[in-house]
Amino acid sequence: MNPSTLVISHPDCTKHETGPNHPESAARLAALLSSVHAAIPELEGRVAYRDGRHAGEADLGLVHPHSHIARVRAFAQQAATAGGLAHIDPDTVVSPASYEAALGAAGSVLTAVDALTDGSARNAFCIVRPPGHHATADRAMGFCLFNNVAIGVRYAQEKGLQRALIIDWDVHHGNGTEAIFYENADVYFISMHQSPHYPGTGHSAHRGHGPGQATNLNLPVPPGLPATHYKNELQRGLAQALTTFSPDVIFISSGFDSAYGDPLAGLTLAPEDFHYLTEHVLEIADVHCEGRVISVLEGGYDTELLVDCGLAHIRALARLPVC
């Protein structure tokens, strides 16, 4: 029997360096991956690990113009020439291996799409970095170089999964994903985020435009919002989306920086809350799209919390109790 859940990563993802004291470190990914590998034997055969592939330039081109792809590659070459790091902006750092890491991150999402469409898994969690949801089509920002989820959505559309629901529960607004799909009727984007907070976008009045009118739903919430309220609000938003939109696949921009104790934010979710929300997403996926869910790691900057939340998320994807 196939495992229900694939965990996917690429070895290059840990080669992206951001320098000392940068919150988005290779150590966070290494810790989560090693905990996942240790946990897989206890997950009743329901979870398997698979290496992702590199995205090709044509795959990146589903979302990003050639000029942006070339610019990211040039920054990585500049870092190699300098023997260190190059800064795209004060937050967004590139090292010599960052371009390959970004290809591995986006490519892992493509591998997830392949696995769901060839029937070798029901859902997948891509443990990748650099993250993606702040990257617009032509701009890297907020630690993000290419928009991994957006590339995955466009690739899924090429494979016949036309209508995608994207749920972004990272604590920061997914401004890049919003911008990419703002006028697109086939992609419904829901972002739940702390407000006010970086990057300053995500107003609830921004509902999409043109053919994409009413397919963008921002749910800004204040710091300190109790987890129960957070869960209710997200479930309400999902119910609202599903009155007009039936997805063929669901993507999650899964940032765990909305957990209580994350050093970059002030929300209050516990690992059990991510388990609960994941179960809720699977219920929706069962009704609308044969269980197809592709979750992609975004933020989460306390390593221990990231591990606990990530494992709870995987247990829910595998339809196992929280522990």
Q: Which residues are catalytic?
A: 134
Question: How many Å apart are CA 122 and CA 3, to the nearest integer?
Answer: 8
Nearest alpha-carbon partner for 26 in 96, 111, 128, 124: 128
Q: Which is nearer to Zn ion, 170 or 273 (CB)?
A: 170
CB of 288 to Zn ion, least distance (A): 27
Identify which range of 33-41, 170-178, 189-197, 205-213 contacts Zn ion by CB under 5 A: 170-178
Residue 170 within binding range of Zn ion, rule CB under 5 A: yes
Q: Which is nearer to Zn ion, 114 or 257 (CB)?
A: 257
Q: Are strands 187-194 and 86-87 parallel, antiparallel or unpaired?
A: unpaired
Asked if residues 125 and 313 have their Cβ atoms less than 8 Å apart, the reply is yes
Q: Which is nearer to Zn ion, 178 or 257 (CB)?
A: 257
Nearest alpha-carbon partner for 303 in 8, 12, 34: 34
Q: Which is nearer to Zn ion, 176 or 299 (CB)?
A: 299
Taking CB under 5 A as the criterion, the residue among 28, 46, 68, 172 binding Zn ion is 172
Identify which range of 50-58, 148-156, 293-301, 306-314 contacts Zn ion by CB under 5 A: 293-301
Identify which range of 153-161, 166-174, 187-195, 239-247 contacts Zn ion by CB under 5 A: 166-174
Residue 300 within binding range of Zn ion, rule CB under 5 A: no
Q: Quickly list DSSP for 22-81.
A: -SS-HHHHHHHHHHHHHHGGGTTT-EEEEE--PPPHHHHTTTS-HHHHHHHHHHHHHHHH
> In the bound complex, which residue of the shown chain has the CB atom lying closest to Zn ion?
299
CB of 255 to Zn ion, least distance (A): 4
Q: Please give the residues from 247 up to 266 whose contact with Zn ion meets the rule CB under 5 A.
A: 255, 257
Identify which range of 68-76, 101-109, 169-177, 288-296 contacts Zn ion by CB under 5 A: 169-177
**DSSP state letter for 259:** B
**DSSP state letter for 14:** G
C-alpha distances in Å from residue 9, one per residue of 88, 101, 197, 226, 296 = 25, 10, 29, 32, 10
Question: How many Å apart are CA 58 and CA 63, to the nearest integer?
Answer: 9
How many CB atoms within 10 Å of residue 187?
26
CB of 91 to Zn ion, least distance (A): 11
Number of residues that bind Zn ion (CB under 5 A): 5
CB of 118 to Zn ion, least distance (A): 31
Burial class (CB in 10 A: 0-12, 13-18, 19+), 110: buried
Q: Which is nearer to Zn ion, 54 or 172 (CB)?
A: 172
Residue 163 within binding range of Zn ion, rule CB under 5 A: no
Nearest alpha-carbon partner for 234 in 213, 258, 210: 258
User: What residues line the site for Zn ion (CB under 5 A)?
Assistant: 170, 172, 255, 257, 299
